[in-house]
Every structure is written in structure tokens, then in C-alpha cells.
Amino acid sequence: MSVPSSAFSFLFTSFCVFFTLSGTSSCLAIHANTTRPHRQLSVNYYAKSCPQLEQLVGSVTSQQFKVSPVSGPATIRLLFHDCFVGGCDASILIASKPGSKQLVEKDAEDNRELKVEGFETVRKAKELVERKCPGVVSCADILVIAARDYVHLAGGPYYQVKKGRWDGKISTASRVASNIPRANSTVDQLIKLFNSKGLTTQDLVALSGAHTIGFAHCKHFVARLYSYRGKAQPDPNMDPKLLHALRMYCPNFGGNSDIVAPFDATTPFIFDHAYYANLQKKMGLLASDQALALDPRTRPIAQDLAKDKQKFFQAFVAAMDKMSLVKVVRGKRHGEKRRDCSMHT
């Protein structure tokens, strides 16, 4: 089934809404190198040098959200993938040079499903900002602002973001695999990875709540439907009705590789706390999602956030702030201010 990038094909089941997106799905795994206080970063960093910055970026994100709602989860996921690999330095946006054998982060296997809408959001915002404030604002800051905008546009909290990042000078595909969570990651693996970024178990569970919007291709959860952990049985920790619905669109072999399912089967377009309530009902899509409701270290946190949307919003904002400060680049020695986010200066 062929669908324009800005459109969705809706297929309703008792629990799920499935979507075929042109290109690949936004399997929004939560991805956030150690966070430290950054005196140079501030909410008002561009108050004098580019006072209209947030309005400029906001004009792009609001339009993109109307035209192509998938831009939201795509951009949030893009930020996670950027921050978790070498820090929040926009290295994920660098494109390979023609003819070069050096693969950049964007080319890594784990990043090939990153939706073009996320990259397009930053590109369009950067072009607009450059016309008003040339050579001033980093791509890294624009990505952080855009992700915040989409959280709010989808019904989530609006929060102030610290600015003053520079763009990184290094982008290599080889750094990606060991720093990105997997759809079947265990809680042990997730906690270890998040801790390596200076993020706590609380942050892990809160940031996982970004799966309240976004979608995943069948290949990321098909094993749960037919042969979980190598056994010829589905995952016992999946709701039977959800299992039946997913099997309708995700056969064990073959099938349409463009079919995706929402992480949150109940309110897939709304940034709310339903994701956590779904986990209590065994309705998590990925094994790494459902694991949060099973492990004694994460279960109480997930249960707590399922009960109170405002508590989730507060935890999410705090965790996003910490994640956005992971290994921030500062100054010309280690950083750059790109005019084109896909090219080093």
C-alpha cells in the first residue's frame, strides 16, 4: 500500500491502529555520556543574538505537525539518538560525503529507520533561523527546541530548554550500536546504558513515556507474537486481544515491511500517560516496553506514572532536561556552528 509521507492509512482493530508510512517507521526507542551542570547553557542564551529563535522554530514545527504529524515522534526520536551517541551535538544530522567510505552516524544500521520528517524539521527551521540570525544558532539547539515543541503540540507539557550548545565535529557510524537501546533490551541492559549517560532508573522510565506517540515496524516485535525467546509460543506477557490484532498485520514470515503499529494502542496521537496504563494491562508493544512493568526496579515507577499525568509530565521534563545536557559541546576547539546541519563547517 503506497501512502504519501504526510498521510496515514488507518486500519482499526479492537485495540490497535495500524499505519503504513512511506519509507520506514519511527520506532521510537528511548535513547538519551554523562550529564554535568553547564554554566554556559541558559534559557536566555540567544536573548540578544537571536531573540526570535523560539518563534522561528515554532513556526516550522507547528506547520510540520499539521502537514505531517509523524514529524513529532520522528524529531523526538532523532534527539534521543543524537544525545545517546557522543552527546547532544547534532552529529546525527551529518550526511556522508559523496564517494566517502567513512560512514557517519546517520548511516548506522540502528539509525536507518529514522524518519526523514525529523531531519526535514531541523533543516527547515535552520534555514529560517539562518536568514534572521546567520551563523549564531547551533543545529544542536534547534533539534532540542523542535523536540520540545512537538511534545507540546501533541498534548504534552511545554517547558523551557537550556541553550548554548555547539555542533560536534565528529560523526561516525561505529559509535552507534553500543549506545542505542534495542526493542528487546532487558531492564538490566537499559539501566546500565542510561546510567552510562548519567541518567537514573527514574529517568529511564520517564523517557520511555515518549512511546506515548510513535510507531514501530513489525520486525521489532514479531518475535513476541510467535516465538518469544526462541520458544514456539507468543510472549505470555502480552494481552491476548492485542496479540490477535498484531498477528493480523504482522505475519511470522513475509508480510508488508511498511506496516507499523502504534506504541500506545489507546491514544496513539496524544502525548499523555496512557502508555503506562497500557503496560499494566500487558499492552506494551516492544519487549523493552513491557519489561518496565515486570521488573521490580522499574514497575513501581511505571505504576506511579500510570496514575498521574502531571507526575509523568514533571518526570519527563526533568529527564529530558538531563538528557539534553549529555556531553554538550562548547567552543571552537571541540565544536562548530554549522550553516547547513548536514555538513561540517
123 vs 12: which has the higher pLDDT? 123
What is the architecture, at CATH level 2, of domain 199-324? Answer: Orthogonal Bundle (1.10)
Q: Answer for the pair 168, 91: CB distance below 8 angstroms, yes or no.
A: yes
- What is the DSSP-derived secondary structure letter of residue 171? -
- What is the DSSP-derived secondary structure letter of residue 337? -
5 has a pLDDT exceeding 70: no
Q: Answer for the pair 274, 297: CB distance below 8 angstroms, yes or no.
A: no
pLDDT (mean) for 331-339:
94
Which residues belong to the annotated binding site? Answer: 82, 85, 87, 89, 91, 105, 181, 211-212, 264, 267, 272
The rounded distance, in Å, linking the Cα atoms of 29 and 286 is 9
2 has a pLDDT exceeding 60: no
Q: Answer for the pair 130, 305: CB distance below 8 angstroms, yes or no.
A: no
pLDDT in tens, 126-147: 999 999 999 999 999 999 999 9
pLDDT (mean) for 270-283:
98
Binning pLDDT at 50, 70 and 90, where does residue 51 land? very high
Q: Which amino acid is at 62?
A: S
The rounded distance, in Å, linking the Cα atoms of 239 and 287 is 13
38 has a pLDDT exceeding 80: no
Domain boundaries, given as residue ranges, for the chain: 52-175, 199-324
What pLDDT, on a 0 to 100 scale, did the predictor assign at position 39? 53
pLDDT in tens, 145-202: 999 999 999 999 999 999 999 999 999 999 999 999 999 999 999 999 999 999 999 9
Q: Which uninterrupted H or E stretch holds 17?
A: strand 17-20
Q: Which residues of 17-39 are buried (b: 16+ CB within 10 A; e: fewer)?
A: bbbbbeebbbbbbbbbbebeeee
Residue 170 in grid coordinates: 565528529
Catalytic residue among 81, 217, 220, 273: 81
pLDDT (mean) for 266-272:
96
Catalytic, 81? Answer yes
pLDDT in tens, 72-112: 999 999 999 999 999 999 999 999 988 888 899 999 999 99
Which residues belong to the annotated binding site for substrate? Answer: 181
13 has a pLDDT exceeding 80: no
Mean pLDDT of the chain: 90
What pLDDT, on a 0 to 100 scale, did the predictor assign at position 301? 98
Which residues belong to the annotated binding site for heme b? Answer: 211
> Helix count (H) and strand count (E) of the chain?
12, 6
257 has a pLDDT exceeding 90: no
Which residues belong to the annotated binding site for Ca(2+)? Answer: 82, 85, 87, 89, 91, 105, 212, 264, 267, 272
What pLDDT, on a 0 to 100 scale, did the predictor assign at position 244? 97
The rounded distance, in Å, linking the Cα atoms of 204 and 201 is 5
Helix (H, G, I), strand (E, B) or coil at 167: strand
The rounded distance, in Å, linking the Cα atoms of 47 and 9 is 43
Interhelix angle 139-153/71-84, nearest 10 degrees: 140
37 vs 336: which has the higher pLDDT? 336
Residue of 88, 167, 92 lying closest to 327 (CA atoms): 88
Percent of the chain past pLDDT 70, that is, above it, reads 89
What pLDDT, on a 0 to 100 scale, did the predictor assign at position 185? 97
Percent of the chain past pLDDT 90, that is, above it, reads 83
What pTM did the predictor assign? 0.89
Q: Which residues contact 253 (CB under 8 A, 6 or more apart)?
A: none
29 has a pLDDT exceeding 60: no
Residue of 197, 169, 194 lying closest to 301 (CA atoms): 194
Which residues are registered as beta bridge partners of 260? 19, 217
Please name the fold of domain 52-175: Peroxidase; domain 1 (1.10.520)
CB atoms within 10 A of CB 158: 11
CB atoms within 10 A of CB 299: 17
Residues in the chain: 345
Q: Answer for the pair 8, 72: CB distance below 8 angstroms, yes or no.
A: no
37 has a pLDDT exceeding 80: no
